[in-house]
Each structure stands twice: as structure tokens, then as C-alpha cells.
Structure 1
Amino acid sequence: MNYIAHLHIASVTQTSFAGNLLGDFQWQADPRNTEFYLGWQLHQAVDTFVDAHDATLRFKELPRLGRRRFLGIIQDVVMDYWLIRHWQTFSDEPFERFAQRAVNGLSQVKPDCPERLQGMIGSLENHNWLPDLGKSSGIARAIGSIQRRWTLGHHLEPFVQELDEIILQAEQPFLDLYPDVLEMAQATAKQLQQKM
């Protein structure tokens, strides 16, 4: 799962927007900051669950030009595409309102976030590009951004060449996966909150 999913999970579980994004920024939250730490733990649990889910394994077994070990990155991004496309199935709140609420929530805690996450929040404050992830052009830009930031980003290029096909192939795996993710995330959040 990528940004939209982790932000949605934060909303559903009433945990920190920023905390739920921290797992993508190679930064472990301080356990004394319980709000961030809970979200960070939840992010880790969601990623582990997604990686082992049958829908993910089936998606990764489809023939690809690129190397399977890098497909999880592409899967995360295209799952956001399908979450936006199927938003009304999972939320009564209009997506645009949710996206603005998420940015507002992130802005409130921006000074407490690591530098890279602060940069992302600043980018969202200047132009809320979360809705763009519901378009194939937005997905291509997101992958391009990963390629530029990551030393192994060139390994994603074969997937970019097949992106339209991969997006189509990801719809059913998303629909099989995401309801289970939400159920697991809600149960996990409750368990984590009880331990705090």
C-alpha cells in the first residue's frame, strides 16, 4: 500500500496521518511520541500483511518484463490508483474532501516530522497531488519520482513500459486485498492502542 491507502487506514483507525506514512521514510518513530509510534507500527503491520496476502502473491506471479523482486513497489502505487477509483466502496466521505483533510492533518504536525516527510508535506501544501494518483499519468509521475530518488530506480523502467497493462491487472487483486487490509488494520490498531 502507498500514500493514499496508509492515509485512509489512518482515518479509518483514527490514528496519525503522519505516523502512518513514516514507514515509507526509513525513520522509526520515537516510542515516546505515542501518536507517531502507533501509526508507524500500524504501517509496518499493514506492509507485512500485504506482502504475504494471496492476492499479492497472485499479482506478482503474472509474467513481467521487470524483475519480480521490484514489483512490490509498483503494486503499492497502482493500488492507490484503484483505491481512488473505488473510493465510494470504502468511504462515505468524498475523496477530494478526504485528501484536503489529510493534508491539513499532516500540516499540523509538519515540524515534528523527519525532513523528507516535511518536504512531501510542503509539496502537498503547494499543490495537493493526492487526487492525481487516481490517473495513469499521476501513477507514472509517482514511479518516476521513486526512480529519481532511489539508487536502484532504473530497475523499475521495465514496469513503466508495461504500466497501462499492470494497472488493469491490479484491479482484481486490489479488490481481493483491500477489504482484508482494512479489517486487519482495525484489529491491529485496537491491539496496539491497548498496549499503550
Structure 2
Amino acid sequence: MNYLAHAYLSFELPEITVGNLISDFIKGKQKEAFPEKIRQGIMLHRAIDGFTDTHPTTRQAKSYFREAYGLYSGALVDIVYDHFLANDALTFPPDENNSSLKAFAQRTYERVGDWQAILPQRFARLFHYMRTQDWLANYGHKELIFNSFEGLARRASYMPPPGQAITLFETHYAGLEACYVDFFPEVKDFALRTLQQLQQDGKKE
């Protein structure tokens, strides 16, 4: 799961959204420095990633990239899932201006921006570009997916050049979309149940 999916799987809860989006930038016990609900978001993110990485449908999606990209196939699929989520008519009903997705993106930026003072420095830099370039709403466009592939290749020292990933994405578009359609309702159900458990555990502390 990538940024749009993690934001969506925060169920419109501001602090959960913040924790879910910053989780990859928080190591070990660093999460203890954050308020309880943001910690829940961090833990939710990690649970979602574990569920996603081990799911049979995700393994199928990875298979389209695995020969060329090996361990990086999972990161590529995370980006691809965001593309299909952005174009999911059941989640973001389409209209001429794509207004439901754009509105969700703006709400997400506002929620995260309210916690600007405590964002990890690396995420804060990334969030500036996410917000100003409207990444979340633009994941529906293939061009941004290609840019994301290129950005991943720049950050990953041993990842092969992204050109073949773009070709594989285009070639296997229908198969990857079918994986998303099968997988996303399950991860949404899992995320909701996990969040409810985290909230319940938090009340016991």
C-alpha cells in the first residue's frame, strides 16, 4: 500500500491518518514520542503492510514484476494499487472534475498539515511536494505512476532502471487491476478490524 491507500485506510480520522502516513519514517521506539492516536496510526500502517505483503493476490501482482525487479516488485505493486484506488468508481465516484478524490486529498493534506510541528523531518519534506503537487489526487494518472517508479529507482540503489517497470505495468494492466479488485475489499476489512482492536486496546491502558 502506498500513500493514497494508507490515507484512505485511516477512515477519515485525523490522528490515525497522520500516524498511518508517517509510519515508514518512524523507527523502533520512536513511536512512543507521539500521542496515543498517532501511535495507533503507526501500528495500523505496519499491520496493513504485513497483511498486504503476505496476501496471495499481492503475490500474484508481484509476479508481473518479479523477474525484472526481484525484491522491488512489492514496492512497485504498492504504487500500482494507489493508481487503481484513485480510479475506483465505488470508492471515489467519478465526475468531470474527479471531485470526490480531489476533496478527499484536500482533507488529508489539511489533517496532516495540522500536525506539521511534529512530523518527522524527512516526511515533512516529502509532504511539501505531496501537497503542492497534489500527489493523492493525481495517482489516477499514469504519468504520476511512472514518476513514482522513477522516484523509487532513484532512492533504491540496486533497483534496475524503471523503464521496464513502465512497460510491464502497461502490458499487465488488466491483470494488475484484477488483483486490486480482488484484494482491496479484504485489506479494507482487515484495516477496519485492526483499527477497532487498537482503539479498544487503547481504552484499556
Shared fold (TM-score greater than 0.5)?
A: yes
- Indicate the SS of the match to 1:94: helix
Of 117, 136, 139, the residue aligned with 2:142 is: 136
Q: Go from structure 1 to structure 2 and tell me whether the alpha carbon gap of 1:126 and 1:59 turns closer, same or farther (over 3 Å shift).
A: closer
The reply on whether 1:56 has 2:58 as its aligned counterpart is yes
- Indicate the SS of the match to 2:20: helix
Root-mean-square deviation over aligned CA pairs: 2.2
Q: Go from structure 1 to structure 2 and tell me whether the alpha carbon gap of 1:105 and 1:14 turns closer, same or farther (over 3 Å shift).
A: closer
Contact 1:2-1:79 at 8 Å conserved across structures: yes
Match of 1:16 in 2: 16
Q: Go from structure 1 to structure 2 and tell me whether the alpha carbon gap of 1:122 and 1:62 turns closer, same or farther (over 3 Å shift).
A: closer
How far apart in 2 are the matches of 1:37 and 1:156?
34
Which range is displaced more, 57-66 or 129-138?
Answer: 57-66
Contact 1:136-1:164 at 8 Å conserved across structures: no
Q: Go from structure 1 to structure 2 and tell me whether the alpha carbon gap of 1:180 and 1:36 turns closer, same or farther (over 3 Å shift).
A: same
Match of 2:5 in 1: 5
How far apart in 2 are the matches of 1:12 and 1:183?
15
Match of 2:90 in 1: 89
Match of 1:25 in 2: 25
1:93-133 CA-partner distances (Å, limit 9, x unpaired): 81110011111111111110101110122113323222221
Q: Go from structure 1 to structure 2 and tell me whether the alpha carbon gap of 1:32 and 1:128 turns closer, same or farther (over 3 Å shift).
A: closer
Q: Go from structure 1 to structure 2 and tell me whether the alpha carbon gap of 1:7 and 1:95 turns closer, same or farther (over 3 Å shift).
A: same
Deviation of 1:83 (Å): 0.2
Match of 1:39 in 2: 41
TM-score normalised according to structure 2 size: 0.85
How far apart in 1 are the matches of 2:41 and 2:132?
25
Q: How does 1:69-148 map to 2 (within 5 A)?
A: 69-86=71-88, 88-91=89-92, 94-148=100-154
How far apart in 2 are the matches of 1:60 and 1:124?
25
Deviation of 1:62 (Å): 4.1
Contact 2:83-2:141 at 8 Å conserved across structures: yes
Of 151, 174, 179, the residue aligned with 2:180 is: 174
- Indicate the SS of the match to 1:90: coil
How far apart in 1 are the matches of 2:135 and 2:43?
26
Matched to 2:168, the amino acid is E
Identity of aligned residues (%): 25
Which consecutive unaligned segments of at least 5 residues does structure 2 have?
Answer: 94-98
How far apart in 1 are the matches of 2:92 and 2:48?
19
